[in-house]
Amino acid sequence: MHSYACFSVERGLVMALFGKKKRTLISHKPDMNALPKHIAIIMDGNGRWAKKRHLPRTAGHSVGSETFRKIATYCNDIGVKYLTVYAFSTENWSRPQEEVSAIMSLLKKYVLEAIDSVEKDNIHLRFWGDRSRIPKELLELMEYAEKKSETMTGIFVNVCLNYGSRDEITKAVQKLAGAVRAGELEPENITADMVSESLYSAGTPDPDLIIRPSGEIRVSNFLLWQSAYSEYYFTDVLWPDFDERELDRAIVSFQNRSRRFGGVEAKK
Ligand code: IPE
Ligand code: IPE
Ligand code: MG
């Protein structure tokens, strides 16, 4: 009894020490051989970043757009295959007119740069969202950038612009209902894959990791269908302050999760 008690105390000590050692050993560097294939980011917190500095909200959007460039470059460099970013939602039109205009100008600036750089950087750029409300000049540039980048084989960058997941799903339902009305499809033959293929994300694997900075713990109408088994990562860091190290942290967190997809065993 006595020796057993001793053994237990010793074992406890060893465990405590080992446990401590193990914690300090947790790497902040991602395993580059097990990267999430598809990372999606809700680029939030620009307004609060500006407010903290007594700057106009638009200044936050401007720095936030630089963060996007930096993170897209980093993802491309490390070999992430798909990056999807939420840039402007179907609900964001309700913001003051000058803020909306400033965001559209920043997007135009980005698209113009992209037109010059997508081939050099091997980026396949696409825009997800309802195009009917996008200013004509910006829309033409978007379409030109998409065309110019469509044969690129590096990272796929999907910019969600006037994007809302409910709107996306509604449009998919309308499309499938149209096929039913045309007699091309029986309602009972509609499959989940057909729904997936009717979304803006058709052909893109579902996101493995969805990151939301800024401290908000909500989804705000982003990729509701596609995120069925995504891993979420929330951080208080505001988007303009987000950097490569923060992305590393998110990826390390992702790599320490056990994804079971409803089963018992973890799946890669
Ligand atoms: C995200 O930052 C950018 C867009 C929604 C366009 P916000 O502008 O929402 O920043 P906060 O949430 O007000 O801080
Ligand atoms: C989500 O952020 C949309 C984008 C980042 C583009 P919001 O700032 O619009 O979301 P809520 O209003 O806080 O839910
Ligand atoms: Mg916000």
| 85-109 pLDDT per residue, tens | 999 999 999 999 999 999 999 999 9
Tell me the mean pLDDT in the region 225-229: 98
Q: Which two structure tokens, joined as six digits, stand for 165?
A: 């997941």
- Residue 44 among the catalytic residues: yes
91 Cα–ligand 3 center, Å: 11
pLDDT tens by residue, 15-57: 555 555 445 556 789 999 999 999 999 999 999 999 999 999 9
Give the pLDDT of residue 27: 72
Q: Catalytic site residue 122? A: no
Question: Cα separations (Å) of 201 from 37, 154, 197?
Answer: 15, 17, 7
Residue 46 Cβ < 6 Å to ligand 2: no
Q: Which of 41, 42, 44 should be mutated for ligand 1, with most atoms under 8 A from CB? A: 44
The answer to whether the Cα torsion of 46, 199, 134, 89 is positive or negative is negative
Give me the pLDDT at residue 8, please. 52
| Residue 230 neighbours by CB under 8 Å, 6+ apart | 40, 206, 207, 208, 209, 210, 223
221 CB near ligand 2 (under 6 Å): no
Mean pLDDT (the chain) is: 93
Question: What is the C-alpha radius of gyration for the chain, rounded to an integer number of angstroms?
Answer: 22
Look at residue 2 in the predicted model and tell me its pLDDT.
47
Q: Given a cut of 70, is residue 217 above it in pLDDT?
A: yes
Lowest mean pLDDT among 14-18, 117-121, 182-186, 246-250: 14-18
Q: Among 16-20, 115-119, 206-210, whose mean pLDDT is lowest?
A: 16-20
* Ligand 1 touching residue 73 (CB < 6 A): no
Residue 88 Cα: closest atom of ligand 1? 6
61 Cα: distance to centroid of ligand 2 (angstroms): 12
84 within ligand 2 shell (Cβ under 6 A): no
- Residue 189: both structure tokens together: 């033959």
Q: Is the CB of 71 under 6 A from ligand 2?
A: no
Q: Is the CB of 44 under 6 A from ligand 2?
A: yes
Which listed residue (76, 77, 92, 241) is catalytic?
Answer: 92
For residue 267, report the phi and psi dihedrals to the nearest 5 degrees: -115, 145
Confidence label for 3 from pLDDT (cuts 50, 70 and 90): very low
pLDDT value of residue 16? 52
pTM of the model: 0.91
Q: In the prediction, which pLDDT does 194 show?
A: 98
Annotate 141-182 with three-state secondary structure. HHHHHHHHHCCCCCCEEEEEEEECHHHHHHHHHHHHHHHHHC
Return the pLDDT at 19. Answer: 52
Marked catalytic residue, from 44, 121, 206, 208: 44
Span 229-249, pLDDT tens digits? 999 999 999 999 999 999 999
